[in-house]
Structure 1
Amino acid sequence: MSRKLLFLTILCFGGFIFSEIQAQVTGKAQNYTFYGTVIDSVSQEPIGGAAVFLLESRTGTYTDKKGFYGLSTPAGQFTLRVSYLGYKAKVIKLDISKNLILDIPMSVDAQFLEEVTVISSKPEENIRSTETGVAKLSIRSIRKIPAFMGEIDVVRSLQMLPGVSTVGEGSTGINIRGGSIDQNLVLMDDAPVFNSSHLFGFFSIFNPDAVRDVSLSRGGISAEYGGRTTAVLDVKLKDPDLEKSSFYGGVGLVSSRLGLEMPLIKDRLAVLISTRGSFNDFLFKLGPESIRGTVANFYDLTGKILFKPSEKTRLSYTSYYSFDAFKLPSDSLNTVNVNATSSTYKYRTYNQTLRFNWFVGTNASLTLAAIQSVYKANTSVPDSSIAFELNSGIRLRSLKARYVHSGEKNNLSFGLESNHYQIDPNQLLPGPFSNILPVNIASEFARESAAYLENEWKFSPRFSMLTGLRYSFFQRLGPDSVYLYAPEAVRRLENVEENQFFDRGEVAKSYSGFEPRVSLRYSLDDNTSLKASYNRMRQYVQLISNTTAALPTARWGTSDVNIQPQIADQVSVGIFKNLEENKWETSAELYYRKSQQFPDYRDLADLIFSSNLEQEIIQGKGRAYGLELMARKNTGFMTGWLTYTYARTQVKIDPKYELIHNYTGAWYPANYDKPHTFNLMVNYRTAINVTLSGNFTLSTGRPATYPIGSFVASGNTVPIFPNRNLQRIPNYHRLDLALIIEPNPSRARKWQGSWVISVYNLYSRNNAYSVYFDLNPRLQTNAYKLAVFGAAFPSITYNFKF
């Protein structure tokens, strides 16, 4: 451990001792405390912003975003009232004679369903919170968004928010504020996810039946998070119900779902199991002959066990497994440069999280977590003469500790974490009669450790500040073979000056640095606030892919002697204003991010089989800037939001890389640069249990590089390409509609069924995913447009619960 990391660790535990002493000094001996969480009685989701009020003493508080509250009062008998918009108010008689833990479930009020908010936080939280660039969605609001082929999708729902985009249908992951997909830290119950999609991006891996809520941080990012440079997507899975059993699921054209929650020991031990599968290959057999050999299916399994040995301790274990299989009858996706009749792509994810929570006091908690994340990919071709298997994978093991102390004037948190990476780059295994030679690239090993300290200062009702400091320390470990190149020379074999080898466990290269974070909020009045934030983030691992949509053939890699970690500094400012008693929320945010060691790739780079990636990767500078506007209506029979985003992402490579003709030292657009995006999302409740929803999206086409001419050499037509990404594919727009029929909440029934009827791409827009060219011997150029979905896709899904 370095001296800097040791110093920060001592500082963290010093803060722990100080906060405990402060709590003891400021506490009053004659007072007792009670605390707990406020949750939805059905979904078990925490209710943020619920009012918790003692009628006799006229004191109270609001629950935080995790539904947690805490109050202190002298001994006596009191009446506690808990209320939240859209829920039945709850009145509880309390006899306070000792410290007490009280969890409070709340039921939806059917008479006021039209007042239920879109998000799971109090309406004025966007004004009072110090966070910037944070979007939160409950699973309830996600279910209202029209789904592709009836499959409710967390990631697709996020694409309707400002600053979030994708390069097109069938692409893996999302691009946030000008970042690539691997620059987003995606977490599922604290476990990192290395591929968040099913079937190349058509669906996300998150089972909606198991999701509790979703938080996307793209501005002022907490010091708790690190390892990526753009954004954090934190998906929390719900806890199993400790009181009653429930069985639920859904049947659709694309996939079907089943879930079970059951208490094994009431109020102490419960289990959740939820599975989802898509086995619809028979649908392709009904289509044209060109697609009858297509295979496209997936399944996933989510499990969670919750154990409460006491009122102050909680132990949970989360396990997730998913598997995808995709095969095309032709080789349009094959990147191994062989001619095969069919290629099969398989990939799987296996995550585990073991978490222990200890409520140290009324306003303090300690969390310990052990995590494992595994991602493996396989590509295979069965043809005997060229049969092969291509395998790759990444495994992460992590230990985390986090302490939180909440107070009236400040909220202190600090923690430690250690991550160990094992990356298995692409390994090519020929078949028994294959003409292909084997390739085995050595595995990569690395360790990333971090410590952080964060505090939110509440100076006054109008002014608050969130400050954080994270220190990360990265080590590339042996065994490792390293080339050292001549200074200022292009990284080619002819410029290698020395070859170094490091034994197993030996440190080949280390990087470290501080990552400061700060967010400020100043309220002009009760309905208007100004916010600003700055954060620095470092990224030591990255996805190695130069294709528009990352395929399973893409590989992960770590920083080493030649490939330096990415460093990004982002500044954002915004104004937030609520209108008509929080009926409307409006916001405008500006951001600018500057990146160092921003990666790009040489023309015709061999990323699959290269054992020296520094010869294929070129690192330069990156910048991203933009404006995000949003207006959201929270209450009434019609709710929804309207967003507009202006965003630019540009890259500049030093022209010293003279082997690449199109690096001139000027800024050029990144592959996912889309300047204009407009989104409209509307929910209209036509009856107490019937909702009509629709969304419309319009965006600029992504950049492309078109040939400007051609010439003939040795009888072959060779295209001439200008500098990168100077042209664009056509603009993208699409309209989706959905009709949601839910059970009448005023009628209590054991069996509850609902229907979702949706149409994706209502007016059959033939959006271009890419444009490619065919050059014939006459030097004539024919342009072709590839569209993933060129027609309307209707679907129907039946969901049930009992």
Structure 2
Amino acid sequence: MIRYLYVCVLLCLAAGHLRGQSKKVVQSLTGYIRQAGSRTPIAGATIFIQSTRVGTTTGKDGFFVIPIEEGSYPVRISHVGFISQTMTVNVNKLTLINIDLVEDTQYLDEVVVQTEAPDKNVRKVELGVTQLNIKNIRRMPAFMGEVDVVRSLLLLPGVSTVGEGATGFNVRGGSIDQNLVLLDDAPLFNTSHLLGFFSVFNPDVVRDVTLHRGGIAPAFGGRASSVLDIKVKEPETEKWSAYGGIGIVSSRAGVEGPIVKKKLTMLAATRVSVNDFLFKLGPASLNGTRANFYDLTTKLKWQPSEKHTLTGTGYFGRDVFRLPADSLSGVELNASSTQFDYQSVAGTLRWNYFVNPRMNLNTSAIWSQYRSEISAPDSANQFSLVAEVHHKQVKSDLTITVNDRHAAQVGLSAIDYFVQPNTLTPGRYSNALPYTLPTERAYELAAYVQDEWKVSESTALLAGLRYSLFLNDGPTTLRTYSSELPRLPGTAISLTPYTAGTIYHTYGGLEPRLALRMNLSEGRSIKIGYNRLRQYIHLVSNTTAALPTSRWLLSNPNIKPQIADQLSVGYFMNGKQNEYEASAEVYYKTLTNAIDYRDGANLQRNPAPETDLLQGSGQAYGLEMLVRKNKGAWTGWVSYTFARTFLTMNSRFPDEQVNNGRAYPANFDKPHTLNATATYRPSLRFSLSFNFTYSTGRPITQPYGRARINNVIVPIYVNRNQERIPDYHRLDFSMLFEQDPAKKRKVQQSWNFAIYNVYAHKNAYSVFYRYDPRQFEDAFKLSIFGTAFPSLTYNVRF
């Protein structure tokens, strides 16, 4: 009997144990891994559960998910260049952890620590994507001591500019307006201070810089060439800190810290440039020159719970540039002391909702405004010419981790565009006549889906599809032109008015995105990618380097959207435990409805800009090669780019042809570019950096002959962009002196000494001819920076 009861008890206990086991459900351990201090997400960090031998790595946003049963587990978090952490985590219904890793300052290779895994260039699916760490950017030699995000991009393969001090940059055969530049998701329509000498991004608040020039995710759209995604760092959560710097061009100051510890934090940083006094030290002809700017970047983060995070980012920047006497007004007015005044205002409000361990929702409201003004004070010719661009957007993105093999993303976006091309207001006693160009209004709607599929251990596929719809809204007066005549102001056959709220025309279509990665062996892969992009807003200019006051124009029935199709193939390899990496990419891109201007175009004041603009086809192709050293006392890279870009403006009407309808090089076509950057860091307190760059001269149009009309010599131009300015080359140098980061101090200081254009080479920005009534004189070269420019910058952090 006792034996029978004993067996029954054992059976009951076993049944209870089995029931207890059946109640164990699989949950997920999720969280974010960030860098302590800057709060930069760390991609490629390893999360390893020691008792179960299960682990994973973080994505580019520092997020990870590990499916696991409820219970208590020892977890180890590690990444190269950071101090590892081991902790015990209790996994229950919802477990979200936030870990800040501290940099290992005793590790000499800290200079090249990146927020990506060491072999990410081989393992990631997309190609043509480069991420720059702000620490590495700071060590590069800077012009006039100004650490410049955009200027650092020019050292990458596939990125160029038409000349020193030019606004914007060109990527793989695209014009400057074909780059979508985002600051925490807010687009900026002008990225330059002082007419192009410096960029608008304050290095003190930049977290990281990512340039998408080949593999562009379907979440991005609206531009035909590239996406420059700049993220503002997260505010400090533990304590308040202040920082700043003093330089020749500008001075900086910033503060960040917790308002409510670990709940509500803020950041604010500003740059101020007051350079007018420098011009008084130069020639008398420069007296009266104004050239200054200021900007302010703010960020506020509120995290009421682990599931909800609200962040707000704001930016304001303004420039004032004036020459004492000039002819740069460009509005056919006889005026001196022309002043350029332009400003950008942008803001983003973002809500991140952690739905569950496999779903994450981001919803953003975005606003961006750009305003430019040209003015002159002369009483007889006093005027003010104002133009504005407004961008309002709402978008939402849902990220879904389906399983170990599939990670999906879907999203919606709606944009409201408003463009005021130009409004001229004369002074009280001015001879100028007032005018206002018609405003433009349109909406851009988009939806996209993307899936990253891990087909096998050696193969991965990133497939996406975006659909965009562009709708023109009134009020406007639509001009219709005869197909039997060239499009000129006098050939419009009808004028049709539309009132506000009337959608009078639409464009739209699918934009497929595809990338395939195949691992050939350990540390080696080959990638293939294809992108289609549509662009509905355009910057039109008939100058080599567009001024900040150049005109923005929306697509309409007479100006079609530009469509770019790009195919690229790349080979990537790492060696010696990721100490070295090398890559080679080839691309071919076609451009439909490419935009250029008619000879003698007047774009700024034209109420019918389609009569001065031409649309045709374009093609760009090239080879990009990069060799990089990531570890050791010497680090850096060498890149070479072979790139060609051609436009074809052909029509059955000679008035609508360029170069007699034959293909011609674009203004930014530079066949050969070689860049090299090297940093020598023998200790944690000192680093030495060099940059060298060489490129083929850009195309120019020179006169083929001359004619005498009413005893005046007039140049004769035949074909566009058939000659080139001399080749460009320059060497830069800098030294950075820092305090030992291993020694904690309340005040951290550093000095940066740099020389721009070390051997004072007079690089030509343009070539022009001087005429007199008797003859053509020889060509003259204009250099922007024809000498060496030393600088000294002091930085401090409290």
Instruction: State the TM-score, normalizing by the size of structure 2.
Output: 0.96
Mapped to 2, the partners of 1:400 and 1:95 lie a distance apart of: 35
1:430 to 2:429 alignment: no
1:166 to 2:170 alignment: no
Partner of 1:68: 63
2:79 to 77, 84, 91: 84
Displacement after TM superposition at 1:332 (Å): 4.7
Mapped to 1, the partners of 2:752 and 2:653 lie a distance apart of: 55
1:757 to 731, 734, 753: 753
Deviates more, 1:396-405 or 1:78-87: 78-87
Cα distance per residue 1:15-51 (max 9 Å; x no partner): xxxxxxxxxxxx9962232221111112221111111
Deviates more, 1:651-660 or 1:762-771: 651-660
Is this contact kept in 2: 1:118–1:640, CA < 8 A?
no
Partner of 2:182: 187
Mapped to 2, the partners of 1:77 and 1:55 lie a distance apart of: 11
5+ unaligned residues in a row in structure 1: which ranges? 1-26
Partner of 1:16: none
Mapped to 2, the partners of 1:773 and 1:29 lie a distance apart of: 84
Is this contact kept in 2: 1:38–1:105, CA < 8 A?
yes
Three-state SS of the structure 2 residue aligned to 1:111 is coil
2:388 to 383, 386, 393: 393
2:523 to 518, 524, 527: 527
2:45 is matched by which residue type in structure 1? Answer: A
Cα RMSD after superposing both structures: 1.4
Is this contact kept in 1: 2:205–2:232, CA < 8 A?
yes
1:560 is matched by which residue type in structure 2? Answer: N
1:231 is matched by which residue type in structure 2? Answer: S
Three-state SS of the structure 1 residue aligned to 2:380 is helix
Partner of 1:413: 409
Displacement after TM superposition at 1:84 (Å): 1.3
Mapped to 1, the partners of 2:593 and 2:153 lie a distance apart of: 28
Displacement after TM superposition at 1:116 (Å): 4.6
Partner of 1:256: 251
For these two proteins, the number of residue pairs brought into alignment is: 776
1:331 to 2:326 alignment: yes
Mapped to 2, the partners of 1:251 and 1:146 lie a distance apart of: 16
Change (3 A) 1:649 1:50: same
1:738 to 730, 734, 739: 734
1:235 to 2:230 alignment: yes
Displacement after TM superposition at 1:780 (Å): 2.3
Is this contact kept in 1: 2:619–2:645, CA < 8 A?
yes
Question: Between the two proteins, what is the percent identity of the paired residues?
Answer: 47
Mapped to 1, the partners of 2:564 and 2:49 lie a distance apart of: 47
Mapped to 2, the partners of 1:510 and 1:770 lie a distance apart of: 41
2:224 is matched by which residue type in structure 1? Answer: T
Mapped to 1, the partners of 2:592 and 2:729 lie a distance apart of: 34
Mapped to 2, the partners of 1:736 and 1:556 lie a distance apart of: 35
Is this contact kept in 2: 1:119–1:141, CA < 8 A?
no
1:120 to 112, 115, 125: 115
1:272 to 255, 267, 276: 267
1:281 to 2:272 alignment: no
Is this contact kept in 1: 2:38–2:234, CA < 8 A?
no
Displacement after TM superposition at 1:741 (Å): 1.2
Mapped to 2, the partners of 1:113 and 1:308 lie a distance apart of: 35
Deviates more, 1:39-48 or 1:472-481: 39-48
Mapped to 1, the partners of 2:441 and 2:618 lie a distance apart of: 27
1:643 is matched by which residue type in structure 2? Answer: S
Change (3 A) 1:193 1:755: same
1:212-227 equivalences under 5 Å are 212-227=207-222
Partner of 2:631: 635
Is this contact kept in 2: 1:657–1:663, CA < 8 A?
no
Displacement after TM superposition at 1:644 (Å): 0.1
2:474 to 462, 473, 478: 478
Mapped to 1, the partners of 2:94 and 2:496 lie a distance apart of: 63
Is this contact kept in 1: 2:24–2:69, CA < 8 A?
no
Mapped to 2, the partners of 1:172 and 1:618 lie a distance apart of: 23
Mapped to 1, the partners of 2:517 and 2:761 lie a distance apart of: 43
Partner of 1:143: 138
Instruction: State the TM-score, normalizing by the size of structure 1.
Output: 0.95
1:100 to 2:101 alignment: no
Is this contact kept in 1: 2:568–2:585, CA < 8 A?
yes
1:282 is matched by which residue type in structure 2? Answer: F
1:288 is matched by which residue type in structure 2? Answer: P
Displacement after TM superposition at 1:659 (Å): 2.1
Change (3 A) 1:411 1:28: farther
Displacement after TM superposition at 1:68 (Å): 1.2
2:610 to 614, 617, 621: 614
Mapped to 2, the partners of 1:83 and 1:437 lie a distance apart of: 68
Mapped to 2, the partners of 1:111 and 1:63 lie a distance apart of: 24
Three-state SS of the structure 1 residue aligned to 2:144 is coil
1:655-674 equivalences under 5 Å are 655-659=651-655, 662-674=658-670
1:389 is matched by which residue type in structure 2? Answer: S
Displacement after TM superposition at 1:451 (Å): 0.4
1:800 is matched by which residue type in structure 2? Answer: V
1:563 to 537, 556, 559: 559
Deviates more, 1:183-192 or 1:98-107: 98-107
Mapped to 1, the partners of 2:152 and 2:776 lie a distance apart of: 43
Change (3 A) 1:661 1:714: farther
Mapped to 1, the partners of 2:735 and 2:295 lie a distance apart of: 27
Three-state SS of the structure 1 residue aligned to 2:610 is helix
Mapped to 2, the partners of 1:85 and 1:651 lie a distance apart of: 47
Three-state SS of the structure 2 residue aligned to 1:303 is strand
Partner of 1:377: 372
Is this contact kept in 2: 1:115–1:636, CA < 8 A?
no
1:699 is matched by which residue type in structure 2? Answer: S
1:554 to 539, 550, 553: 550
Mapped to 2, the partners of 1:225 and 1:669 lie a distance apart of: 28
1:454 to 442, 450, 454: 450
Partner of 2:685: 689
1:404 is matched by which residue type in structure 2? Answer: T
Mapped to 2, the partners of 1:369 and 1:259 lie a distance apart of: 25
- Tell me which structure has the larger Cα radius of gyration: 2
1:468 to 439, 464, 470: 464
Displacement after TM superposition at 1:72 (Å): 2.5
Is this contact kept in 2: 1:553–1:608, CA < 8 A?
no
Mapped to 1, the partners of 2:412 and 2:690 lie a distance apart of: 44
Cα distance per residue 1:264-297 (max 9 Å; x no partner): 1111101111111101211111111111221110
Mapped to 2, the partners of 1:623 and 1:140 lie a distance apart of: 36
2:346 is matched by which residue type in structure 1? Answer: N
Cα distance per residue 1:564-590 (max 9 Å; x no partner): 111110000010011111111100000
Is this contact kept in 1: 2:648–2:658, CA < 8 A?
no
Cα distance per residue 1:54-80 (max 9 Å; x no partner): 111111111111111122222333221
Displacement after TM superposition at 1:208 (Å): 0.7
2:363 to 347, 364, 368: 368
1:542 is matched by which residue type in structure 2? Answer: H
1:196 to 191, 200, 218: 191
